[in-house]
Chains A and B, each alone.
Chain A
Amino acid sequence: MPDLITHSAFAYALTRSQRFDRFRVIFYLGTVLPDVITRPFYIINPHLYPYTVAVHTPLFMILFCLLAAEFFIEPLRKPVRLYLLAGVFLHLFLDFFQRHIESGYLWLFPFSWKTFEIGLFWPETPLMLAPLWLTLIAAYEAIRLLRKKSD
């Protein structure tokens, strides 16, 4: 996985349209969700890794988003499903560009144990660009605030 600042920066860039205003935070949560429900467990206790094999996979994440949407009131469930899944798939899309020493993510789990990825960068590499993403976001927000004040 790239770091979650990189994932979040891409989510931020893609959700500038006003159409996202109402459910932007759901999209953001979807963007970090695959790592949030996987990494802490085996980082804190590496013995738990085998239990997380299934979690960072498209099918598991789809089911998890469907489950999460059930904890919203009925009129919100459909948009929550949609925005959460969109965020999750943005996360998985970025992960697809990573490289691992051999086996990567199990995109077709549980139907196949084959892994494949584009292999453009190691998981740690995007961290070098995190300060750039933060600077760009800060600059964009500053300009937006100044424009708002002048209107």
Chain B
Amino acid sequence: MSRFLRISLYLVLLAGLIWYGRTRDPRVTLAMCLAEPEKYHGTRIEVANETIVQQLFNDGFTIRYLGKTVTVIGDPTGLRPNEFLSMIAVFDRSGRLLLEKKHLALYRRWKIWVSVPPVLLFLIFFLRRYRLDLSTLQWQEADRA
């Protein structure tokens, strides 16, 4: 099989997997619940995906999820505004969530930022070691080019 055909085949398979993951995921998300509140009333869901704590109250808190503010009824102990949160909650048709359990992802911002330097370092190592032949779009070792 030629290189062009192999590349085309891999690209089609990868795109197919992305499409399958996008369209066939059986998990109910908060976005789906908010779009159809009656249909998903009483559904137990996992809420994560870059969800951020907004305001804290005595009996609950609000979160920022995909640009929307959502009220959560439940114990806010240990939460801090502006930190990432993942939680299990039951969706109510009113658009609110009833908290079952939560995990505050403290230091997630740090984790994201400290993950950048290793990637940049490896890219520098790679570019020092390999050269791209633009005519064939193939990398080869710089010291053997």
Residues of chain A having any CB pair with chain B under 8 Å: 3-5, 7-8, 25-26, 28-29, 32, 35-36, 39, 42-43, 46-47, 49-55, 57, 59-60, 63-64, 66-67, 70-73, 76, 100-103, 109-110, 113, 122-124, 127, 130
Contacts and interface: CB of A to CB of B under 8 A. Distances in A.
Interface in B116-145: 116-119, 122, 125-126, 129-130, 133, 136-141
29 contacts: A3-B114, A4-B114, A4-B115, A5-B115, A25-B122, A28-B122, A43-B50, A52-B21, A54-B17, A54-B18, A54-B20, A54-B21, A54-B22, A63-B10, A67-B11, A67-B14, A71-B139, A72-B140, A73-B133, A73-B138, A100-B48, A100-B86, A101-B48, A101-B86, A101-B88, A122-B105, A124-B107, A124-B108, A130-B114
A25 B125 contact: yes
A101 B111 contact: no
Q: 9 nearest interchain CB pairs?
A: A54-B21, A53-B21, A4-B115, A67-B10, A46-B50, A54-B17, A8-B118, A25-B125, A101-B86
A60 B16 CA distance: 10
Contacts of A26: 126
Contacts of B119: 4, 32, 36
B114 A127 contact: yes
Contact of A51 (B6, B22, B27, B129): B22
B118 A123 contact: no
